[in-house]
Amino acid sequence: MLNPEYPADPTREDSLLAAIDLGSNSFHMVVARLSQGELSTVDMMSEKVQLAAGIGPDKRLSSEAMERGLTCLSRFAQPLNDYPPDAVKIVATNALREAVNRRVFTERAEKILGVPIEIIAGREEARLIYLGVSHTLANTQGARLVIDIGGGSTECIIGEHFEPIELESLHMGCVSYTQLFFVDGIISEKNFRQAEYAAMRELLSIRETYKKLGWTSSVGSSGTIKAIKNACIASGFSEENITRDALHQLKEKVLSFNNLSEVDIAGVKQERAAILPAGLAILTALFNSLNITEMTFSEGALREGLLYDMAGRLRHEDVRERSISALIQRYHVNEAHAQRIEQTALSALDQVKHTWGLKHPDYHEMLSWAARTHEIGLTIAHNQFHKHSAYLLQHSDLAGFTNPEQLLLAFLARGNRRKFPKEEYKQLPESSKEAYKRLCVLLRLSVIFHRSRSSTDLPAFTLKAEGKKLELCFEEGVLTNYPLTQADLEQEIEYLKNADIKLSIN
């Protein structure tokens, strides 16, 4: 049980940070101390939950699987009682990406933990895995290939130093492949071959690109590859690393068993033995498809990557900022115009953040990013460009952003002009709806103020907010000099009625 010496304070050095990884096979929690820019592990907890095993053909997570997960999280929750929310990061991976009833689980889990759960995209999972691995290895020259076989997906990354170059998340995992190819627990050479060939077909999408890029070393991470490494060493098939020959010998040993319940291999924990054959088939396919001859192992993985990502954000090294900058460059945004809208929107936020409950730094960042990217859809077409912007923000691979964060950014872009987007608003998480409606209003006003796209200074304005009321004030007679702005604001009063916001202009 974790017992922090003092509550975490993410704003200072020597603070405690916690990361929780809700994997498809296991849930993990790690707590580390941030000191002098380095993280040192304080405690770890891990529990096999097998969420992926609870997903049926209808893609619904069973009540039994939910209860297993929630029971585990109730144990994880106790040590977190004294932590501020900013010191805790919780992410979910493939099982909850796939489950159509994921919100039922996450809402119950968030009540237990008191911290939002972020369901991350496959490539974001890959980025975080690479970050965790690269911080636990020597910073050597040359590219490295990192492989992580999870319960429901396998992440493949090529990177150099601390930067990923190529990222991919593939739909194959040790739990899902156990269900698909080892039906009723039966182990046979035919079943193993089918699992291996299925993995090789999945790898066709990346094989040529990865082989062309190349790497000087390959590294495995997480439980499945660790178990395979331990089995190879304990069985005398290799001395330290996983080799192609060792994999072949381990395969022959696995095939000597008739049923998953019989698998008993030195170095492999009993709770992992039943999913080892599927994981071994996937790793064998990876070795064959990518011509891997030897693989080392890293203790770093997704949860460690989460910690380093959090630490980077505390030191203002937020990868999301780089993602936004890349997006702006890719879609040729008029940066001067975007910055003017950003400055006006943030000025408006400063005036109402206390009365409208928008003091958290996240609101400042999200409004800033939305203001800078709300016109990326112009590259596609001027007509309905706000809809194009929203689509790109929601569906692009944006390193550092979770799926919910991209959904919220897309909502702000979608709602920056014309009618308030009621249908998109309904899709937002319940806990975010009111705040993001208000942020959307601030962005809309800023866009109106800068519709002429002029670089001249705006007339001074003040905002006063109270509940559903928002009062916009100018000096007397000023608006007569800005007839377009005045007309747009009068139209905005009508638009915002549909958002249950009463805008008045004085």
Q: Please tell me the predicted confidence (pLDDT) of residue 460.
A: 84
Q: How far is CA 232 from the centre of its chain?
A: 33
Nearest to 261 by CA among 173, 179, 187: 187
Contact at 8 Å (CB) between 374 and 341?
Answer: yes
Residue 149 near residue 171, CB atoms below 8 Å = no
Q: Residue 15: in which H helix or E strand, if any?
A: strand 15-22
Q: What is the pLDDT of residue 1?
A: 31
> What pLDDT score does 200 carry?
97
Beta strands in 369-498 (DSSP E): 461-466, 469-474
Tell me the chain's radius of gyration from C-alpha atoms. 26
Domains 15-120+306-311 and 318-505 equal at CATH topology level: no
56's tokens: 């049926």
Report which of 119, 74, 110 is spatially closest to residue 92, judged by C-alpha positions. 119
Which pTM was predicted? 0.71
- Domain spanning 318-505: CATH superfamily: Hypothetical protein af1432 (1.10.3210.10)
Amino acid 315: pLDDT: 61
CATH of domain 15-120+306-311: 3.30.420.40
Burial 160-174 (b: 16+ CB within 10 A, else e): beeebebbbbbebbb
DSSP one-letter code for 467: T
From CA 235, how far away is CA 492, in angstroms rounded? 72
For the chain, which residues score pLDDT lower than 70?
A: 1-14, 36-38, 138, 314-318
According to the model, what pLDDT value does residue 36 have? Answer: 62
pLDDT at residue 416, rounded to an integer: 92
8 A C-beta contact, residue 302 and residue 125: yes
- For residue range 427-482, what is the model confidence (pLDDT) as tens digits? 998 889 999 999 999 999 999 999 888 777 777 899 999 999 999 998 888 888 88
**17 contact partners, CB below 8 Å, separation of at least 6:** 8, 10, 31, 32, 33, 34, 39, 87, 88, 89, 307, 310, 311
d(CA 247, CA 284): 7
DSSP SS3 for 133: helix
pLDDT in tens, 168-209: 999 999 999 999 999 999 999 999 999 999 999 999 999 999
Residue 478 is predicted with a pLDDT of 81
Q: With beta carbons less than 8 A apart as the criterion, state whether 158 and 215 touch.
A: yes
Walk across the sheet containing 118-119 and list its strands: 38-48, 26-35, 15-22, 88-92, 118-119
Token output for 83: 């932590």
> Does the structural domain 137-298 have CATH classification 3.40.50.920?
no
Indicate the domain borders of the chain: 15-120+306-311, 137-298, 318-505
* Residue 11, pLDDT score: 45
